[in-house]
Structure 1
Amino acid sequence: MLRVGLLLGLFGVVGTGIVAITEALTREQIAANERAALRQAIEAVLPSTTYNNPILEDTLQVSDPLLGTENPILAYRARRDSQPVAVILTPVAPEGYNGAIKLLVGIHYDGSLAGVRVLSHKETPGLGDEIEEGKSEWILGFRNRSLGNPPESKWQVKRDGGTFDQFTGATVTPRAIVKAVRNTLKYFENHRHRLFSKEEEHFHGSPR
């Protein structure tokens, strides 16, 4: 009995060690994959030829209800020869049909949109998932838009009297994204100078 107990204990220790090692290795790989995906998404909305600073390191932690989440997010700041070019934010559209939709929103220093992409969502396949670039071109329609283009009152889907298309059989999803992008532009307008201030603390770490 003692021998069996010792063997079981040994197996338990070895098994726990293997799980811990695997988890650590997997965590590093997941973080690396997330960082690569973020870099690719940023490149899609803001080509690296437009800035020459290390954008994934030139970051600022920000928090505001307009960004759709209570959790702080990172603002990635693009500069060229130390001059501000654009900021990349990862706000949340909390009113998606099946839950929150995480976005990537690039905004030029002049307040116009560099582009918008969906980072993650749980919308219905075949309906709400048309927000994905690979499923339709709808998300590309935000490029070069601003709070004045269209006028702020038209920052709605057409069913609500606005400018932006909705999907057949799925209005909730595009409505949520249009609202989130509009709110992100409002946040930028309110905090433009702070976002690019050299006096602000830099936060270096894994993307949130």
Structure 2
Amino acid sequence: MSQKKTIPSPIDSSQGSKKMLTAMVGIGVFCALLIVLTYEGTKERIERLKAEALEQAVFKVIPGISKTRIFELDNDGIFIHSDGKDRSKKLVYAGFGDDGSLKGIAIEASGQGYADVIRILYGYNPYTQTVVGMYVLESKETPGLGDKIEKDENFLSNFNALSVALSEDLTRIENKVAPVKQGSKANPWEVDGITGATISSRAIGHIIGESSSIMIPLIYSQLEKFKLD
């Protein structure tokens, strides 16, 4: 005698679907909670590590310093002392020698690269009116090509004494920093590019050009604000 097969009723199928849906929602909620807790648990450490890396970068872009001090640009366009915790503020980093004399100002800037936004820090010497160092803080440029902006010595030498001289009335950059094709640099305000990393290297030139046009006249006009005490 053949066995009869039991066919699940519509009600049984409906209840099974509800149980599966409830389980999926529960797993989703648990995963979301886990992500939030992980983020909150590591956020403070990540921010601290970023701050430490940024401080080390300041020493790299301003030669000969032993002390630093953070300043922020307030809503009135005035630089004031800052603890640097509010990252929504426009921050700059003054570097001082052993004798307390100002050696330069490190300025953060960013702009679009080939793959994503590039964040950099560059050092400004107000006495020679030159950029004296550049360091890439964050980049997702193509390994082996675009990332040459971080390690190509010829390219980095652009920023040993890149001219950002002000006009006679000290209100603007006389010649805006501009990128040029590799090997064609003819002026001290030009950034010699990298063959094979053209977009990335040009991006650095444009980033500094845009940033310095705004920040350097402001900084130079308030040099007396940048003091240790």
Q: For 1:152, which of 169, 175, 181 is the aligned residue?
A: 175
Which 5+ residue runs of structure 1 have no aligned equivalent?
Answer: 1-7, 65-70, 200-208
- Cα 1:35–1:102 change in 2 (3 A) is same
Task: State the partner residue of 1:103.
Answer: 120
Give the aligned residue type for 2:201. P
User: Which string of whole-angstrom CA distances, capped at 9 and with x for unpartnered residues, describes residues 70-94 of structure 1?
Assistant: x753111234566543111111123
- Cα 1:153–1:90 change in 2 (3 A) is closer
Which 5+ residue runs of structure 2 have no aligned equivalent?
Answer: 1-22, 24-28, 78-87, 166-173
Q: For 2:106, which of 82, 88, 98 is the aligned residue?
A: 88
Q: For 2:53, which of 23, 32, 37 is the aligned residue?
A: 37
Task: State the partner residue of 1:114.
Answer: 132
State the 1:108 CA deviation: 1.2
Question: Is 2:35 aligned against 1:23?
Answer: no
CA contact (8 A) 1:116 1:140 kept: no
Q: For 2:65, which of 26, 30, 50 is the aligned residue?
A: 50
- Cα 1:145–1:16 change in 2 (3 A) is closer
CA distance in 2, matches of 1:92, 1:190: 18
State the 1:124 CA deviation: 1.5
3-state DSSP class of the match of 1:50?
A: coil
3-state DSSP class of the match of 2:162?
A: coil
Question: Is 2:213 aligned against 1:186?
Answer: yes
CA contact (8 A) 1:103 1:116 kept: yes
Q: Tell me: higher relative CO, structure 1 or 2? Use CA pairs within 8 A at least 6 residues apart.
A: 1
State the 1:16 CA deviation: 8.5
Task: State the partner residue of 1:126.
Answer: 144
TM-score where L is the length of structure 1: 0.66
Question: What root-mean-square deviation, in Å, do the aligned CA atoms of Structure 1 and Structure 2 show?
Answer: 3.6
CA distance in 2, matches of 1:34, 1:153: 30
TM-score where L is the length of structure 2: 0.61
